[in-house]
Chain A
Amino acid sequence: MYEHDVLVVGAGGAGLRAAIAAHEEGADVALVSKLHPVRSHTGAAEGGINAALHPEDSWELHAYDTIKGSDYLGDAPAVETFAQDAPEEVVQLEHWGMPFSREEDGRVSQRPFGGLSHPRTTYAGAETGHHLLHTMYDQVVKRGIEVYEEWHVLDLAVTDHDDVADRECHGVVAYDIASGEVEGFRAADGVILATGGPGQVYDHTTNAVANTGDGYAMAYRAGVPLEDMEFVQFHPTTLPSTGVLISEGVRGEGGILYNDEEERFMFEHGYANNEGELASRDVVSRAELTEVNEGRGIEDEYVHLDMRHLGEERILDRLENILHLAEDFEGVDGLEEPMPVKPGQHYQMGGVEVDENGQTCVDGLYAAGETACVSLHGANRLGGNALPELLVYGARAGKHAAGGDMKDPEIETGPGAKSEDGNLDAADLVGAVGGSDQSAVADGAAVEPRSVVDATVERARERVERLLEAEGINHAHVRDDIQETMTANVNVFRREESLREALSDLREARERYQHVAVSDPSRTYNTDLIHTIETRNVLDVAEAITVGALAREEFRGAHWREQYQYRDDENWLKHTMLTWSAGSPELYFKPVVLDGEDKTYEPKERSY
């Protein structure tokens, strides 16, 4: 058994920032990641990092923009904490050597981004995430923080108290991909989940192949509620053939969207008369699909994003990476012709329920970054708000787990925060198929930390052996089925019968998953086994997204429902919670907190 004070699962932006913060607090911290840190998908983030740095800007404006962008589903304490901490975090990055794009006077440049009232987005070309990831990995190397790279965390070691609020997390069990060993990791002070997003739930996504939603699924199985999972961001500008992201920075710098009739549809068809292309992402994605659905799409599939008028010099200076992506992955020269783009799954607004210090309702278990839901992004995340989130909340989680002195959180978590029963019986809809793989938490009366870890390791070893020895079907077929139904039925536009069809398909996929087996018998670098295990996580997350989408009977932010075409503040100013704490799933709601430090954010009509 490996032992540390703090364990961070995942070594992308949030994980690295958490590990650095825990280290600064004096903890013995280790990163456990299925990828080498620099392979993490934070590296693919392009556009930038929002922070109110300019004297004419303020954290209050940043908070206001974020709450408006969230369609009033963000919790004010989470949003304000974020907007207050972000400038310091960006300057910290600069002090760590991040190669930001610069103004003539040598200061860090800031550019306009969708939904922002001030040019607030700091950036490093169109490859901001790459530089952020590498700058923080440098700091991890400098500090000598231990990294267990290419170790895939299989499950959390959590006690099995009946009430989830009594449970404690004592560590994780992980699989060493290189050697095939299953080992326990004991964490004396805390486990931080920073495993990124769930893009593999969909087949057209900007996410990496590794983004299989492991953190959500593990927390869910341990009884921690998943919050607002129905809010999935579809980015309006992804390349049609691969899903590769074309940064919002292109529109931030002045790029224009055209339909097949060469109309600037964002204005000409009235989708966003003020902001046009720079309206919030949910607005632009729906506009593009509406154009396509009404027959004004190009090849009935996509629209054009044109940046030629920006001129070669400006494009090379600020968006060079976009030229490479368009050429390498779509065969298009962005200097000579418009780029084809369509919406693609990009980001999960919902996630593991945490408070402002990154804590879940299970003692010793934290989450940060895309895996977590504080809730900061609410129903829609603004471009440029993901990177500062992973900095701010990664740092807070790391500091708190390491015993740092912090203010008590205002956001309530766990069953105590429940205000209302769900409108659906989740047990009828999700995870109803039996089987030992379904167990939510450690069984037995184990409470002593080491024996909790040992028991978890034992179960994981059995599972691995079973998968290796069994004869059965290839997980890839199950994953294909999940992606297909999610893309067809739980996409930008959502209809009740489609959502129900998706749930039925997912149940079938769950049944088929009972018969998966790994055909590669090797203990050495068995990616067949790893992908098979990941597919189980993809399935859990897909169900959570779909149940949330079916439950929420309104149109808010990224969540559009055919039958419910208005935001319904009277009935739906609340978070959708899905938990699996007592052997069966339960859906319930908790209120949105719109009271900030000095003001209350009154919901207003959201127009751009």
Chain B
Amino acid sequence: MSTQIEKEKSEEAAEESEAETEAGPQERRMSEKRARTEARERRRQQREQVRETEETVTLKVFRYDPEVEGKEEPRFDEFLVPFHKGMTVLDALIYARDHYDSSLTFRHSCRQAVCGSDALFVNGQQRLGCKTQLADLDDPVRVEPLPHQDVVKDLVVDMEHFYEQMHAVEPYFQPDDLPDGELEEQRQSPENRERIKMSTRCIWCGACMSSCNIAAGDNQYLGPAAINMAYRFAMDEREGENRKEARMRIVEQEHGVWRCQTQFSCTEVCPKDIPLTEHIQELKREAVKSNLKFW
């Protein structure tokens, strides 16, 4: 049942061409034979396990590994996973890895939507695997790596560019001065804390950036997460006015806030419900206001 249709076709093709050409290295044939046997065995095991349970979910998972034979060309593998109430996409991936194929690779850690490791493209939308209920999805469930990022292997993407954009907005607090007294904290009104609250929830999962058409077309665009980070500090009243101006200059640059076309795709996919588009719009308004001031 773990039918990898594309793969089986290519295996047949490989057999044919081997039969025709000169001494195809025996080793390779043997290894392919082993792979087929293993695949058969896997399907058998899956069927057996599945018979014991009533409900199942079919996962179609993107596979790719640049250095492993048979995986250099991207393909989809199917895994039939027993379903139980409350099961998430991440649970299903873990089941498939631990029971069928230990080379199935994906990032995950906290299982509770705070580490931001497992943003995936599930049935055509960016979502966190750990907080996406299988019950809410159409079967089969198609799981792919985040679009618009280089795939390292299977569901793992290269996050380097995302991190660079986050670091580009000076993502650290820079107060003009600090209170003198011993153990004296800075004051911040509950209203101001409320204003930045949503923006501080970002878990750096990259779902927003992956969903953004603009970011896909303009590699230098800061992107929703980084602009939200800039918002978090620019709106924090504990930083001074000069610092805010410096922050505004960063987001006003050519590849900053003005690139956003308010399509709301980032806001839709954000697993922490951060109103990203609103924050970008608010920074645009701030930018207009502060520019008018100098005229």
Q: Do A and B come from one complex?
A: yes
Q: Tell me which residues across on chain A come within 8 A of B172, comparing CB atoms.
A: 96-97, 138-139, 141-142
In the complex, whether A435 has a CB less than 8 A from a CB of chain B is no
Tell whether, in the assembled complex, residue B114 and residue A523 are in contact, meaning their CB atoms are under 8 Å apart.
no
In the complex, whether B111 has a CB less than 8 A from a CB of chain A is yes
Tell whether, in the assembled complex, residue B200 and residue A99 are in contact, meaning their CB atoms are under 8 Å apart.
yes
Chain B residue at smallest Cβ distance from A518: B102
Tell whether, in the assembled complex, residue A103 and residue B116 are in contact, meaning their CB atoms are under 8 Å apart.
no
Q: Tell me which residues across on chain A come within 8 A of B106, comparing CB atoms.
A: 527
Q: Which of A44, A97, A525 contacts B233 (CB 8 A)?
A: A97
Tell whether, in the assembled complex, residue A106 and residue B116 are in contact, meaning their CB atoms are under 8 Å apart.
no
With contact pairs A87-B183, A138-B173, A244-B112 given, residues A524 and B65 touching in the complex (Cβ less than 8 Å):
yes
With contact pairs A40-B115, A525-B105 given, residues A102 and B189 touching in the complex (Cβ less than 8 Å):
yes
Which A residues form the contact surface with B (CB < 8 A)? Answer: 35-36, 38-41, 43-44, 53, 87-88, 91, 94-97, 99-108, 124-125, 127, 130-131, 134-135, 138-139, 141-142, 178, 208-210, 241-245, 324-325, 328-331, 474, 476, 518-528
A383 to chain B, nearest CB (A): 18
In the complex, whether B167 has a CB less than 8 A from a CB of chain A is yes
Instruction: State the CA gap A141–B173 with chains docked (Å).
Output: 11
**Considering residues A40, A243, A520, which has the most beta carbons from chain B within 10 angstroms of its beta carbon?**
A520
Instruction: State the CA gap A330–B238 with chains docked (Å).
Output: 38
Chain A residue at smallest Cβ distance from B84: A241
Tell whether, in the assembled complex, residue B114 and residue A43 are in contact, meaning their CB atoms are under 8 Å apart.
yes
Give 6 A-B pairs besides A44-B115, A524-B66 with Cβ atoms closer than 8 angstroms: A41-B115, A102-B190, A141-B172, A208-B109, A328-B113, A526-B105
Q: Which of B65, B67, B153, B178 contacts A95 (CB 8 A)?
A: B178
**SS class of chain B's interface: helix, strand, loop or mixed?**
loop
Tell whether, in the assembled complex, residue B115 and residue A43 are in contact, meaning their CB atoms are under 8 Å apart.
yes
With contact pairs A39-B115, A209-B111 given, residues A103 and B183 touching in the complex (Cβ less than 8 Å):
no
Q: Quick one: which of B9-34 are within 8 Å of A by CB?
A: none
Contact indicator per residue, chain B 173-192, by CB within 8 Å of chain A (1) or not (0): 10100100001111111100
Tell whether, in the assembled complex, residue B115 and residue A95 are in contact, meaning their CB atoms are under 8 Å apart.
no
Tell whether, in the assembled complex, residue A39 and residue B175 are in contact, meaning their CB atoms are under 8 Å apart.
no
Tell whether, in the assembled complex, residue A107 and residue B111 are in contact, meaning their CB atoms are under 8 Å apart.
no
In the complex, whether B221 has a CB less than 8 A from a CB of chain A is no
Q: Tell me which residues across on chain A come within 8 A of B183, comparing CB atoms.
A: 53, 87-88, 91
Chain B residue at smallest Cβ distance from A130: B114
Q: Which of B153, B178, B189, B203 contacts A525 (CB 8 A)?
A: B153
B190 to chain A, nearest CB (A): 5
With contact pairs A101-B193, A125-B197 given, residues A41 and B110 touching in the complex (Cβ less than 8 Å):
yes
Instruction: State the CA gap A106–B191 with chains docked (Å).
Output: 9
In the complex, whether B108 has a CB less than 8 A from a CB of chain A is yes
With contact pairs A94-B186, A209-B109, A522-B65 given, residues A130 and B203 touching in the complex (Cβ less than 8 Å):
yes
In the complex, whether B40 has a CB less than 8 A from a CB of chain A is no
Offer 18 A-B interface pairs, CB within 8 angstroms, sorted by A: A38-B203, A39-B109, A40-B115, A43-B115, A43-B203, A91-B183, A94-B185, A97-B173, A97-B233, A97-B236, A102-B188, A107-B187, A142-B172, A244-B111, A518-B102, A520-B102, A524-B67, A525-B105
Q: Tell me which residues across on chain B come within 8 A of A124, comparing CB atoms.
A: 200
Tell whether, in the assembled complex, residue A127 and residue B114 are in contact, meaning their CB atoms are under 8 Å apart.
yes
In the complex, whether B156 has a CB less than 8 A from a CB of chain A is yes
Tell whether, in the assembled complex, residue A476 and residue B98 are in contact, meaning their CB atoms are under 8 Å apart.
yes
Tell whether, in the assembled complex, residue A104 and residue B67 are in contact, meaning their CB atoms are under 8 Å apart.
no
Contact indicator per residue, chain B 77-121, by CB within 8 Å of chain A (1) or not (0): 000000000100000000001100011011111111111110000
Chain A residue at smallest Cβ distance from B181: A91
Instruction: State the CA gap A527–B112 with chains docked (Å).
Output: 20
Q: Tell me which residues across on chain A come within 8 A of B110, comparing CB atoms.
A: 39, 41, 43-44, 208-209
Q: Tell me which residues across on chain B come within 8 A of A519, comparing CB atoms.
A: 102-103
Instruction: State the CA gap A100–B193 with chains docked (Å).
Output: 8
Q: Which of B66, B109, B116, B204 contacts A41 (CB 8 A)?
A: B109
**SS class of chain A's interface: helix, strand, loop or mixed?**
loop
Q: How many residues of B contact A (CB 8 A)?
A: 54
Chain A residue at smallest Cβ distance from B99: A476
Instruction: State the CA gap A66–B189 with chains docked (Å).
Output: 32
In the complex, whether B196 has a CB less than 8 A from a CB of chain A is yes
Instruction: State the CA gap A39–B196 with chains docked (Å).
Output: 22
Q: Tell me which residues across on chain A come within 8 A of B201, comparing CB atoms.
A: 127, 130
Chain B residue at smallest Cβ distance from A104: B190
Q: Tell me which residues across on chain B come within 8 A of A328, comparing CB atoms.
A: 113, 131
Q: Tell me which residues across on chain B come within 8 A of A526, comparing CB atoms.
A: 103, 105
B157 to chain A, nearest CB (A): 10
Q: Quick one: which of B194-221 are within 8 Å of A by CB?
A: 196-197, 200-201, 203-204
Q: Tell me which residues across on chain A come within 8 A of B131, comparing CB atoms.
A: 328-329
A47 to chain B, nearest CB (A): 14
Which B residues form the contact surface with A (CB < 8 A)? Answer: 65-68, 86, 97-98, 102-103, 105-117, 131, 152-154, 156, 159, 163, 167, 170-173, 175, 178, 183-190, 193, 196-197, 200-201, 203-204, 233, 236, 238
Tell whether, in the assembled complex, residue A476 and residue B102 are in contact, meaning their CB atoms are under 8 Å apart.
yes
Tell whether, in the assembled complex, residue A178 and residue B152 are in contact, meaning their CB atoms are under 8 Å apart.
yes
B261 to chain A, nearest CB (A): 28
With contact pairs A522-B67, A527-B105 given, residues A242 and B116 touching in the complex (Cβ less than 8 Å):
no
Chain B residue at smallest Cβ distance from A479: B98
Q: Tell me which residues across on chain B come within 8 A of A243, comparing CB atoms.
A: 111
Q: Tell me which residues across on chain B come within 8 A of A520, comparing CB atoms.
A: 68, 102-103, 105
Tell whether, in the assembled complex, residue B86 and residue A330 are in contact, meaning their CB atoms are under 8 Å apart.
yes
A468 to chain B, nearest CB (A): 12
Tell whether, in the assembled complex, residue B184 and residue A102 are in contact, meaning their CB atoms are under 8 Å apart.
no
Tell whether, in the assembled complex, residue B105 and residue A44 are in contact, meaning their CB atoms are under 8 Å apart.
no
Instruction: State the CA gap A178–B68 with chains docked (Å).
Output: 15
| Pairs of residues from A and B, 10 with the lowest C-beta to C-beta distance, nearest first | A97-B173, A106-B187, A520-B103, A138-B172, A142-B172, A476-B98, A39-B115, A208-B109, A525-B153, A94-B185
Instruction: State the CA gap A41–B97 with chains docked (Å).
Output: 22
Instruction: State the CA gap A95–B188 with chains docked (Å).
Output: 11
Tell whether, in the assembled complex, residue B111 and residue A208 are in contact, meaning their CB atoms are under 8 Å apart.
yes
B75 to chain A, nearest CB (A): 15
Instruction: State the CA gap A97–B188 with chains docked (Å).
Output: 10
**Considering residues A476, A522, A528, which has the most beta carbons from chain B within 10 angstroms of its beta carbon?**
A522
Q: Tell me which residues across on chain A come within 8 A of B178, comparing CB atoms.
A: 95
B116 to chain A, nearest CB (A): 7
Q: Tell me which residues across on chain B come within 8 A of A40, comparing CB atoms.
A: 115
Instruction: State the CA gap A210–B110 with chains docked (Å).
Output: 8
Instruction: State the CA gap A36–B203 with chains docked (Å).
Output: 12
Tell whether, in the assembled complex, residue A522 and residue B153 are in contact, meaning their CB atoms are under 8 Å apart.
yes
Instruction: State the CA gap A131–B185 with chains docked (Å).
Output: 17
Tell whether, in the assembled complex, residue B109 and residue A91 are in contact, meaning their CB atoms are under 8 Å apart.
no
A382 to chain B, nearest CB (A): 21
Instruction: State the CA gap A107–B184 with chains docked (Å).
Output: 9
Q: Tell me which residues across on chain B come within 8 A of A38, comparing CB atoms.
A: 115-116, 203-204
Q: Tell me which residues across on chain A come within 8 A of B156, comparing CB atoms.
A: 525
Chain B residue at smallest Cβ distance from A135: B173
Chain A residue at smallest Cβ distance from B156: A525
Q: Which of B111, B115, B187 contacts A242 (CB 8 A)?
A: B111
A253 to chain B, nearest CB (A): 16
Instruction: State the CA gap A381–B206 with chains docked (Å).
Output: 35
Q: Tell me which residues across on chain B come within 8 A of A525, comparing CB atoms.
A: 105, 152-154, 156
Instruction: State the CA gap A260–B193 with chains docked (Å).
Output: 40
Tell whether, in the assembled complex, residue A242 and residue B117 are in contact, meaning their CB atoms are under 8 Å apart.
no
Tell whether, in the assembled complex, residue B112 and residue A44 are in contact, meaning their CB atoms are under 8 Å apart.
yes
Q: Tell me which residues across on chain B come within 8 A of A125, comparing CB atoms.
A: 197
Tell whether, in the assembled complex, residue A134 and residue B200 are in contact, meaning their CB atoms are under 8 Å apart.
yes
Q: Tell me which residues across on chain A come within 8 A of B109, comparing CB atoms.
A: 35, 39, 41, 208-210
Instruction: State the CA gap A135–B105 with chains docked (Å).
Output: 30
Q: Tell me which residues across on chain B come within 8 A of A324, comparing CB atoms.
A: 113
A553 to chain B, nearest CB (A): 36
Instruction: State the CA gap A275–B106 with chains docked (Å).
Output: 44
Q: Which of A96, A105, A244, A474 contacts B98 (CB 8 A)?
A: A474
Q: Tell me which residues across on chain B come within 8 A of A35, comparing CB atoms.
A: 109, 115, 117
Instruction: State the CA gap A324–B113 with chains docked (Å).
Output: 10
A148 to chain B, nearest CB (A): 14
Chain A residue at smallest Cβ distance from B91: A242
